[in-house]
């Protein structure tokens, strides 16, 4: 099977431990990898 159109979604979740700066760092790092989408959920 040939995978020509592989689409990757990155999930950050709570890995940023509530730090907005760390969240932006994750986003910047993931942007360099070619990730197609980023998922982040806010929990209350």
SS (H, E, C) the chain: CCCCCCCCEEECCCCCCCCHHHHHHHHHHHHCCCCCEEECCCCC
Question: How many domains are there within the chain?
Answer: 1
Give the pLDDT score at 42: 65
- Condensed to tens digits (0 to 9), the pLDDT of residues 1-43 reads 566 677 778 888 777 777 888 888 888 888 898 888 877 776 6
Residue whose C-alpha is closest to residue 25's, from 39, 37, 15: 15
Q: Does residue 42 lie within any of the structural domains?
A: no
Q: Does residue 41 lie within any of the structural domains?
A: no
**CA separation for the pair 8, 3 (Å, rounded):** 12
């Amino acid at each position: 099977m040939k995978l020509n159109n592989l689409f990757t979604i990155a999930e950050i979740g709570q890995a940023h431990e509530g730090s907005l700066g760390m969240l932006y760092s994750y986003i910047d790092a993931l942007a360099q990898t070619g990730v197609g989408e980023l998922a982040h959920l806010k929990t209350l």
